[in-house]
């Protein structure tokens, strides 16, 4: 499966031993309802081996759910700095192979602004990763506007990632939240980001929506219908128009049906490759790459070159 395609993976995760310990100590023993053993024990060497096997030239590393905030702002600031500097050190060792989306200690806005400046100006990160909610506060909430304004000023790349929300245990009926709830959680946050006007107000942010948009393709027309019923100004961009401005990664479970749904709200120039490694295990990464080949007309390398070109444009320095 490897070759000269040099895929760019914008949805790739790392962990550190201390981070996993901190998350477990805060009650995240079962990550999003998965068995404790599912916590990845990430190493750069194993990741590079996978990349070499699959033809991934570069992976932009980010921390996944549950993030670094566990109720203590100073501890979250310290943990964010620790994981960001760890990741920057990995990028420094392998600058041609890895990039970095920084972690912020939200909902701590002041701490996040400090960390954001440090990561962009000192560490030279490619962007940031934000969760679908931080302690129950969604991306478009006015309390986060100072952070969004700074990201907008920098025209920053922002990878959105779903995480758990209060009540998910009841909604999931004992099943892992990542199975179903993560897809709806992404939709809730993106919908709120649009309907609060934050997507328009902070329009220079280059948002990457994960997992092929989750259930957004199926909900877009319904959201637009209720937006107009609710009396939204007619001159505002439609939901479909706003969704068309975002980028979408192909992490998850791609199929012909999902690809077809995604193309109803996105264009080829907005699609990016994502493996979701190391939370998605090696064998599944291999299988899902095959699924993408089949979904894009069977072993056609065209999707690989297109998503790589899209990522190169998105991540170009000084853009």
Q: By C-alpha distance, which of 18, 2, 5, 20 is closest to 278?
A: 20
Q: How does the average pLDDT of the chain come out, rounded?
A: 91
- What pTM did the predictor assign? 0.93
Q: Cis peptide before 34, with omega less than 30 degrees from 0?
A: no
Tell me if 130 sits within 8 A of 159, measured CB to CB.
Answer: yes
CA–CA distance, 22 with 17 (Å, rounded to integer)? 9
Which positions of the chain have pLDDT values less than 70?
A: 1-5, 166-176, 179, 230-235, 298-301, 318-319
Query: What pairing do the DSSP bridges indicate for beta strands 133-134 and 137-138?
Result: antiparallel
CATH fold of 7-314 reads TIM Barrel (3.20.20)
Q: 203-253, pLDDT tens digit by residue?
A: 999 999 999 999 999 999 998 888 877 666 666 788 999 999 999 999 988
Instruction: Spell out the residues 6+ positions from residue 103 whose beta carbon is closer than 8 angstroms to its own.
Output: 62, 63, 67, 68, 80, 83, 84, 115, 128, 129
């Amino acid at each position: 499966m490897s070759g000269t395609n040099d895929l760019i993976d914008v949805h790739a995760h790392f962990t550190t031993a201390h981070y996993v310990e901190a998350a477990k100590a805060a009650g995240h023993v079962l990550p999003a309802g998965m068995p404790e053993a599912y916590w990845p024990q990430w190493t750069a060497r194993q990741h590079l081996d996978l990349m070499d096997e699959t033809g991934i030239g570069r992976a932009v590393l980010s921390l996944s759910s549950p993030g670094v905030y566990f109720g203590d702002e100073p501890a979250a600031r310290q943990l964010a700095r620790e994981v960001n500097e760890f990741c920057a050190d990995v990028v420094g060792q392998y600058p041609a192979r890895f990039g970095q989306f920084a972690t912020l200690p939200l909902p701590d806005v002041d701490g996040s602004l400090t960390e954001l400046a440090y990561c962009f100006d000192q560490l030279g990160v490619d962007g940031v990763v934000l969760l679908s909610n931080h302690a129950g506060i969604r991306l478009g909430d006015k309390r986060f506007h100072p952070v969004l304004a700074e990201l907008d000023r920098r025209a920053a790349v922002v990878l959105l990632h779903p995480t758990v929300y209060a009540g998910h245990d009841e909604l999931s009926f004992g099943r892992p939240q990542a199975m179903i709830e993560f897809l709806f959680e992404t939709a809730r946050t993106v919908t709120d980001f649009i309907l609060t006007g934050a997507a328009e107000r902070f329009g220079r942010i280059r948002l990457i929506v994960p997992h092929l948009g989750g259930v957004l393709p199926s909900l877009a027309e319904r959201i637009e219908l209720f937006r107009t019923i609710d009396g939204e100004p007619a001159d505002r961009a439609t939901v479909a128009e706003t969704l068309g401005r975002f980028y979408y990664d192909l992490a998850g479970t791609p199929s012909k049906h999902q690809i077809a749904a995604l193309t109803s709200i996105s264009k080829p120039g907005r699609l990016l490759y994502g493996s979701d490694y190391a939370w998605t295990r090696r064998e599944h990464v291999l299988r899902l790459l095959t699924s993408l080949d089949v979904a894009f007309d069977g072993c056609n390398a065209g999707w690989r070159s297109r998503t790589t070109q899209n990522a190169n444009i998105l991540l170009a320095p000084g853009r």
